[in-house]
């Protein structure tokens, strides 16, 4: 089947590469010419496990190509995926202007039937809005249909999440559209939930908001554990055996980041409000998450009541391991606070440093290290922010010879208090008793 993907960002490129992998003839489009040139050469500006190999394989097999012309993309695909951004406006509402612009272009250029698919996360009833736009601009009076097919891809495991999806959700208004989707996704044996577009749009926002709520819930309970000397990992273990709760997404830490959870929770809260409902539960989810960084910094203050001219080492900058993405990453907020208080930072991340440098260029007070040990040189506190595998196998006896004071604040409970005590560290975990004496 001929498919066009408009907007090759994190979601669009995974959609394009994966559908090409399934044997479809896919054309990816973006108005960022640099990005299109890079993808066309088989070089992905986005880091994602396995992406570049799949990109090159499909370009070579002729099932995947790229263009910066939206007209060419519209004429190519019988199915056109809209994968452009829906960033937050002030107050949390989703900015749908990019989605609307693409819908307008499709209506103006389409000369035969098109199935227009919302892949971007959009508020409920967006598909109805798109339909309105299409009817207004449908110059050639062709049959155009709008469907919702939300993605559930996690960064770092996106390709796996596509091919081993827990479920595929399609929001359609006709049997024809349903059959096209079934043909599109043939080869993926995940359950397909068929519903209407509005319901599909709600499934996406509700799923992300629920996952974010689960994280804020366990972080709220972690605060109680800190005040009562309990152990949040054991609480999560005791909860998780209950199949109705489940073990996943119960890792307490410095909070969720990324381009989805923060934005989707705020957007879903707005959607509730716009429909005359009280979704303030989601405001608390957001509030608890925002508090995580201050709580993390307050632990550092217990060890160092002055930050000025102190050397602190940050291990991990990406919002989670396995990606170079720093959008809404807790590390950025930590860096801002510490730099504002005059600290000297030595930071390291296996993948995300180039992205962080665009926001915090290197200075005499901000050094981008070669590796975790280089970051730890002359350190007066090590701050573990992203739980990359690389940090699991640190040789602390080597570290201890390089640092000035043995302080480690663990934002992801990567280390065990027992081990840190044996290594002779002042150690602050999340939701567990700290080690304050050495």
Taking the C-alpha atoms of residue 143 and residue 298, their distance in angstroms, rounded to an integer, is 59
Q: Is 151 in the site for ligand UDX (CB under 6 A)?
A: yes
Q: How far is the CB of 351 from ligand UDX (least distance, A)?
A: 14
User: Smaller CB distance to ligand UDX: residue 388 or 396?
Assistant: 388
- Start-to-end CA distance of the chain, whole Å, equals 65
Q: Which of 58, 208, 313, 406 binds ligand UDX (CB under 6 A)?
A: 208
**Which one of 29-37, 108-116, 254-262, 375-383 is the stretch in contact with ligand UDX (CB under 6 A)?**
254-262
- 292 burial class (0-12, 13-18, 19+ CB within 10 angstroms)? buried
Q: Which of 197, 253, 272, 411 binds ligand UDX (CB under 6 A)?
A: 253
**Which one of 31-39, 40-48, 223-231, 255-263 is the stretch in contact with ligand UDX (CB under 6 A)?**
255-263
Which is nearest to 401 in space by CA: 436, 383, 434, 376?
376
Residues 247-265, buried b or exposed e (16+ Cβ, 10 A)?
Answer: eebbbbbbbbbbbbbbbbb
Residues 321-332, buried b or exposed e (16+ Cβ, 10 A)?
Answer: bbbbbbbbbbbb
Q: Is 153 in the site for ligand UDX (CB under 6 A)?
A: yes
- Which of the residues 260, 375, 381, 414 is marked catalytic? 260
Q: How far is the CB of 296 from ligand UDX (least distance, A)?
A: 12
Q: Which of 185, 256, 348, 396 binds ligand UDX (CB under 6 A)?
A: 256
User: Smaller CB distance to ligand UDX: residue 98 or 249?
Assistant: 249
DSSP state of 407: E
**Which one of 49-57, 95-103, 150-158, 357-365 is the stretch in contact with ligand UDX (CB under 6 A)?**
150-158
Q: Which of 21, 30, 118, 155 binds ligand UDX (CB under 6 A)?
A: 155
E strand or H helix at 8:
none
User: Smaller CB distance to ligand UDX: residue 114 or 204?
Assistant: 204
Please enumerate in sequence order all residues whose Cβ is within 8 A of that of 280, keeping only pairs 6 or more positions apart, or say none: 269
Q: Is 163 in the site for ligand UDX (CB under 6 A)?
A: no
Q: Is 152 in the site for ligand UDX (CB under 6 A)?
A: yes
Cβ neighbour number for residue 284 with a 10 Å cutoff: 14
Strand partners, 426: 407
Q: How far is the CB of 321 from ligand UDX (least distance, A)?
A: 8
Taking the C-alpha atoms of residue 298 and residue 305, their distance in angstroms, rounded to an integer, is 9
**Which one of 101-109, 178-186, 245-253, 426-434 is the stretch in contact with ligand UDX (CB under 6 A)?**
245-253
Q: How far is the CB of 211 from ligand UDX (least distance, A)?
A: 6
User: Smaller CB distance to ligand UDX: residue 11 or 73?
Assistant: 11
Question: Is 260 part of the annotated catalytic residue set?
Answer: yes
Taking the C-alpha atoms of residue 412 and residue 387, their distance in angstroms, rounded to an integer, is 6
Written as one string, the DSSP assignment of 105-149 is HHHHH--S-EEEEE-S---TTHHHHHHHHHHHH-TT---EEEEE-
User: Smaller CB distance to ligand UDX: residue 221 or 260?
Assistant: 260
The answer to whether 94 and 59 have CB atoms below 8 angstroms apart is no
Q: Which of 70, 102, 260, 430 binds ligand UDX (CB under 6 A)?
A: 260
Mapped onto helix, strand or coil, the DSSP state of residue 189 is coil
User: Smaller CB distance to ligand UDX: residue 408 or 430?
Assistant: 430
Q: Is 258 in the site for ligand UDX (CB under 6 A)?
A: yes
Q: Which of 147, 215, 235, 326 binds ligand UDX (CB under 6 A)?
A: 215
Contact mark string toward ligand UDX, 261..290, x via CB under 6 A: x-----------------------------
Please enumerate in sequence order all residues whose Cβ is within 8 A of that of 294, keeping only pairs 6 or more positions apart, or say none: none
Q: Which of 154, 273, 304, 357 binds ligand UDX (CB under 6 A)?
A: 154
The answer to whether 38 and 45 have CB atoms below 8 angstroms apart is yes
Q: Which of 24, 114, 320, 333 binds ligand UDX (CB under 6 A)?
A: 320
Q: Is 319 in the site for ligand UDX (CB under 6 A)?
A: yes
Taking the C-alpha atoms of residue 145 and residue 107, their distance in angstroms, rounded to an integer, is 11
- Residues near ligand UDX, by CB under 6 A: 151-155, 208, 211, 215, 249-251, 253, 256-258, 260-261, 319-320
Q: Which residues have a catalytic role annotated? A: 260
């Amino acid at each position: 089947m001929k498919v066009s993907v408009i907007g090759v960002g994190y979601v669009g490129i995974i959609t394009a590469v994966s559908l090409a992998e399934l044997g479809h003839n896919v054309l990816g489009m973006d108005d960022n010419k640099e990005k299109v040139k890079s993808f066309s050469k088989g070089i992905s500006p986005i880091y994602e496990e396995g992406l570049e190999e799949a990109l090159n394989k499909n370009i070579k097999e002729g099932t995947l190509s790229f263009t910066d012309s939206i007209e060419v993309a519209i004429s190519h695909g019988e199915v056109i995926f809209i994968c452009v951004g829906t960033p937050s406006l002030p107050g949390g509402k989703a900015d749908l202007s990019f989605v609307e612009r693409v819908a307008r272009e499709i209506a103006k250029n389409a000369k035969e039937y098109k199935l227009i698919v919302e892949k971007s996360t959009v508020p409920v009833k967006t598909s109805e809005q798109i339909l309105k736009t299409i009817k207004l601009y449908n110059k050639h009076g062709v049959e155009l249909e709008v469907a919702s097919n939300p993605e559930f891809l996690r960064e770092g495991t996106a390709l796996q999440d596509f091919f081993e999806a827990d479920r595929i959700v399609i929001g359609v208004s006709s049997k024809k559209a349903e059959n096209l989707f079934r043909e599109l996704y043939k080869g993926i044996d995940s359950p397909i939930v068929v519903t209407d577009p509005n319901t599909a749009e709600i499934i996406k926002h509700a799923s992300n908001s629920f996952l974010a709520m689960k994280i804020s819930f366990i972080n709220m309970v972690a605060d109680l554990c800190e005040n009562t000397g309990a152990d949040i990992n054991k609480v999560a273990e005791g909860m998780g055996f209950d199949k109705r709760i489940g073990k996943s997404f119960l890792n307490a830490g410095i909070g969720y980041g990324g381009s989805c959870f923060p934005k989707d929770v705020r957007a879903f809260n707005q959607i509730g409000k716009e429909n005359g409902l009280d979704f303030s539960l989601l405001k608390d989810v957001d509030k608890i998450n925002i508090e995580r960084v201050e709580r993390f910094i307050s632990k550092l203050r217990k060890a160092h009541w002055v930050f000025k001219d102190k050397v602190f080492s940050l291990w991990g900058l990406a919002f989670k391991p396995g990606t170079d993405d720093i959008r809404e990453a807790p590390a950025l907020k930590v860096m801002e606070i510490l730099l504002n208080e005059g600290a000297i930072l030595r930071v390291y991340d296996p993948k995300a440093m180039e992205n962080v440098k665009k926001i915090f260029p290197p200075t005499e007070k901000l050094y981008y290290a070669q590796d975790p040990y280089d970051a730890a040189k002359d350190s007066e506190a090590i701050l573990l922010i992203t739980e990359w595998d690389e940090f699991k196998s640190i040789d602390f006896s080597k570290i201890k010879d390089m640092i000035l004071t043995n302080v480690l604040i663990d934002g992801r409970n990567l280390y065990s208090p027992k081990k840190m005590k044996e290594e002779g560290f002042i150690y602050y975990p999340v939701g567990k008793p700290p080690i304050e004496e050495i």
